[in-house]
């Protein structure tokens, strides 16, 4: 897998700068703090993986940046600077010349994101006509070229077909063709392969990587799967409970992860190099309630390494030794307190005869 990495090709510099972004949804139950103070920057031509469990805020983050949430139901604060311009506070009308031509998004479910009543061809040519004022015949020729780019066989025939006539993998290729149509500089891919088979997933990730290199796009790849981001990103941001809890270049993150949460996420994935029936490490409990998030570190109630301080005081993002690596934890992986607790846990599981990390998740 060659990945989406691109080292210093084409134009460089910061493309996206997100500062203290908060996305809150007022509901009957109270205010849901889906994204709660997230800051990061993304360079041109780089790929950032955003990882977290369901409800961590990773999808809301990408939609907030792109301005896809209705201002009637959402309270957005902070700043989103794209190519130096502030996007927050712009109306949908003002965002229209950003969508498609500057920023585009690929969604998880290619069936429900395509219009079932409209032919594939029309769905690809529509943004070309609207954003680029292309005449019909030129738009059609461009659509055929785009479909070739995303390796759809027999593009002329496919133009006349409806989404239901295509497989899931082909529909996702159509989604990518639509997203790429107006040559965006920034692509959001929100769980683009979760609904697909593993063989097709590999093809689609390769395709996104190839298009990203050819077009020098920045990509934000949102996923719950650390396996997907490992081979296909330059940097990874881990989200938990609406906050960014760790961010680092991909190889640095996997080599020196600091957050016990990141470590637990990685350890809960079954691996091919483990023997069958290996007891999996689990994260007990569930992600926090975003209406009343816990005091202190939001992961503390589920964290095997949490101490009293973690329940009282919230850790802020602090730099690790590695370049570009930040994390929010008082007792990170590798610290003395971490090792001390780890030894205690190993001791306890030995005496009780229960495998470590089984956790109790019932009744929560």
Residue 116 C-beta-side C-alpha neighbours within 13 Å: 4
Nearest-angstrom CA–CA distance, 182 and 205: 20
CB 21 within 8 A of CB 35: yes
- Report in angstroms the alpha-carbon separations of 170 from 44, 336, 350: 28, 51, 51
* Strands of the 14-27 sheet, one edge to the other: 30-43, 14-27, 75-82, 85-86
Nearest distance in Å: CB 48, another protein: 14
Q: Which residue has the tokens 């003002």?
A: 94
Nearest distance in Å: CB 191, another protein: 12
Nearest distance in Å: CB 21, another protein: 23
Closer Cβ to another protein, 141 or 269, answer by number: 269
CB 38 within 8 A of CB 245: no
Closer Cβ to another protein, 41 or 358, answer by number: 358
Closer Cβ to another protein, 316 or 360, answer by number: 360
Closer Cβ to another protein, 25 or 254, answer by number: 254
Residues of this chain that bind another protein (CB under 8 A): 1, 3, 53-54, 153, 167-170, 197-203, 205-206, 224-228, 230-232, 250-251, 254-255, 264-266, 268-283, 286, 358-363
Nearest-angstrom CA–CA distance, 306 and 299: 9
Nearest distance in Å: CB 103, another protein: 26
Closer Cβ to another protein, 54 or 73, answer by number: 54
Nearest distance in Å: CB 170, another protein: 8
Question: What would you report as the CA-atom Rg of the chain, rounded to the nearest whole angstrom?
Answer: 22
Closer Cβ to another protein, 200 or 345, answer by number: 200
Nearest-angstrom CA–CA distance, 54 and 37: 18
Nearest distance in Å: CB 349, another protein: 14
Nearest-angstrom CA–CA distance, 243 and 294: 13
CB 98 within 8 A of CB 82: yes
Closer Cβ to another protein, 57 or 184, answer by number: 57
Of the candidates 300, 255, 257, 9, the one whose C-alpha atom is nearest the C-alpha of residue 247 is 257
Nearest distance in Å: CB 270, another protein: 4
């Amino acid at each position: 897998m060659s990945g989406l990495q691109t080292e210093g090709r084409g134009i460089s510099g910061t493309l996206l700068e997100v500062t203290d972004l908060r996305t809150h949804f007022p509901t009957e139950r109270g205010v849901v703090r889906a994204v709660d103070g997230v800051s990061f920057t993304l360079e041109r031509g780089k790929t950032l993986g955003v990882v977290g469990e369901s409800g961590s805020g990773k999808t809301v983050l990408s939609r907030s940046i792109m301005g896809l949430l209705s201002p009637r139901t959402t309270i957005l604060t902070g700043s989103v600077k794209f190519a130096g311009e502030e996007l927050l506070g712009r109306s949908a009308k003002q965002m229209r010349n950003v969508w498609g031509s500057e920023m585009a998004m690929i969604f998880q479910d290619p069936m429900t994101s395509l219009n079932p009543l409209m032919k594939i061809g029309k769905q690809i040519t529509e943004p070309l006509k609207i954003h680029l004022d292309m005449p019909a015949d030129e738009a059609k020729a461009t659509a055929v070229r785009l479909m070739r780019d995303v390796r759809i066989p027999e593009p002329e025939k496919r133009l006349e077909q409806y989404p239901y006539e295509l497989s899931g993998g082909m529909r996702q290729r159509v989604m990518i063709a639509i997203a790429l149509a107006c040559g965006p500089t920034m692509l959001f891919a929100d769980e683009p392969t979760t609904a697909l088979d593993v063989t097709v997933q590999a093809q689609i990730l390769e395709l996104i990587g190839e298009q990203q290199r050819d077009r020098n796009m920045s990509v934000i790849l949102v996923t719950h799967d650390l396996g997907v981001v490992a081979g296909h990103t330059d940097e990874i941001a881990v989200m938990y409970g609406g906050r960014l809890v760790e961010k680092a270049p991909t190889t640095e993150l996997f080599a020196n992860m600091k957050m016990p949460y990141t470590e637990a996420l990685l350890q809960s994935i079954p691996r091919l190099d483990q023997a069958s029936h290996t007891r999996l490490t689990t994260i007990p409990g569930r992600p926090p309630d975003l209406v009343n998030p816990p005091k202190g570190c939001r992961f503390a109630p589920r964290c095997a390494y949490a101490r009293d301080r973690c329940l009282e005081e919230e850790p802020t993002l602090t730099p690790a030794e590695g370049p570009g690596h930040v994390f929010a934890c008082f007792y990170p992986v590798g610290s003395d307190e971490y090792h001390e607790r780890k030894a205690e846990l190993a001791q306890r599981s030995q005496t009780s005869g229960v495998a470590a990390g089984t956790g109790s998740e019932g009744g929560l």
